[in-house]
Structure 1
Amino acid sequence: MRELPHWHTASARGPREHNADAVGAYAAAGGAGIVFALADGVGDHPNAAHAARTAAAAAARNPVGQGAVAAVLAAQRAVLASGWSGDCVLVVAVQTGEGYGIAWVGDARAYAWDGYTVRQVTKDHTLAQYFRDHDQPVTPRMEHVVTTSVRTAGVHEIGTATVTTGGLVLTSDGVHKTLSGPVMLDILGMPDRAAAELVRTAISLGGSDNATAIVVDPPSADLVTEKLRVAA
């Protein structure tokens, strides 16, 4: 049985009526590793929160051996079958060897974290990013318009990446659209409370959305963290 990483998570409601972010993590007894999932509901509504919880739980429970894209598709099936009308974005990390396979839709992000540097490995599926890719002007509103989601994405639209550093950070846009890279890096230097500090700092700096983070410590980190099998 593979040794599970140390990890910690935090979430806080920003200036919204509902916290529509959700996280999930699951390692089957005697299994090959762990699946992490972070979902962010589209909109400030109970339907959005339900979609995020449903997606995060379904993705995290998908077998490790099937990979990250399969976990996103499992989340999609669960959301479509739920009978609720909400939607969400999602990022999933599946443990593979010493690293992680990543899959995502929308603007939830994954970063590689080796204890010294942090590097974004996902690319936002937003209208703003689409326009940047085509060398067109971008307006602030475009940053918040996603071009893929759990409910709508086709298989070919799911983004994929690989993290080989052994450490990992997953964030909702309430974190990464408020905090700069250097600020995130400074906070990750406090790994025993990094997830909580990412969220607290994003809210305190005036973030306009809910803020959620999962931090998976690099294997070399000398830390004491709470190891949970499932969080939602």
Structure 2
Amino acid sequence: MAISMPACTVPAVGVASRTGTDGTNADAAHAFHASTGAVGAAVIDGISHSDQLHALVPVLAIAAARTAAIRWPLAGLLTAGLLTCDPGHDGARPSAVAVVARVQAGEPTTLAWAGDARAYGWDPQLQLLTRYTTDHTVAAYLAAYGIEEDIADEFSSQIRVHLTDVTPATAHQALIPCGHLVLQQDFDV
């Protein structure tokens, strides 16, 4: 699942996705063009598979993208997080990670993320892809404190911050230069 948004003039948005190996898709992407000209975009990567999660993930993407366009990406991320907090009457505990962005002409692009969903900038002139996010995984935490890569990599799928527990203090945010923006789930580029 990826969203690509070029430049900070009039953003054009493209979305690509594929069905998972079990025939379902626990991921979603959405972009919303606000009346102000701002564009909010979100990629949600559901963790695990359940009917409840498959139904909820597109709602999370829509809520996060619309809120990001109107109130900034952190608000979009927190809104999506709130929708995952209550397990409901059946006890299902949906879990997901997300990256949310806001593009507005003449302003830096803003990002907020939780988990290992990612944002990249693409410079077509230099043919250069720049990663702007860091994973909220145990592996990234261990690597930051000098643990050997082969040991740290064993924990690459253990997420430290999910949408379920994201707060303003645990979410990460960034201002990045205008340009081509690619939001993606955690598969490798």
TM-score range relative to shorter protein: 0.7 to 0.9
What does the per-residue CA deviation read over 1:79-128, in whole Å, with 9 as the maximum and x for residues that have no partner? Answer: 33683521100000111434310000000000011223110000000010
SS in 1 for 2:17: strand
Match of 2:24 among 11, 18, 21: 18
Would you say 1:103 and 2:112 are equivalent positions? yes
For the structure 1 residues 82 and 94, does the alpha-carbon distance in structure 2 shift closer, same or farther, using more than 3 Å as the test? farther
Once the two structures are TM-superposed, the CA of residue 41 in structure 1 deviates from its matched residue by: 0.3
Say whether the 8 Å CA contact 1:3–1:33 is kept in structure 2.
Answer: no
Which of residues 110, 133, 154 in structure 1 aligns to 2:144? 133
User: What's the counterpart of residue 5 of structure 2?
Assistant: none
> Residue 5 of structure 1 aligns with which residue?
11
Match of 1:135, SS? coil
Identity of aligned residues (%): 29
- The TM-score with structure 1 as length reference comes to 0.68
SS at match of 1:151: helix
Count of matched residue pairs: 174
Q: Work out whether 1:152 is the aligned partner of 2:165.
A: yes
Instruction: Find out whether 1:67 has 2:78 as its counterpart.
Output: no
Q: 2:93 aligns with which of 85, 89, 99?
A: 85
Structure 1 residues 16 and 99, CA gap change in structure 2 (3 angstroms): farther
- How much has 1:75 moved relative to structure 2? 1.0
Asked if 1:119 is matched to 2:118, the reply is: no
Residue 166 (str. 1) matches residue 179 (str. 2): yes
> C-alpha displacement at 1:173, in angstroms?
1.3
Stretches of structure 2 lacking an aligned partner (at least 5 in a row): 1-7
The CA distance in 2 between the partners of 1:139 and 1:155, in whole Å, is 26
Q: Which runs of 5+ in 1 are unaligned?
A: 180-232
Distance 1:95 1:131 in 2: 33
Distance in 2 (alpha carbons) for counterparts of 1:140 and 1:16: 25
Q: Shift of residue 61 of structure 1? A: 1.4
- Whether the 8 Å contact between 1:18 and 1:45 is mirrored in structure 2 is no
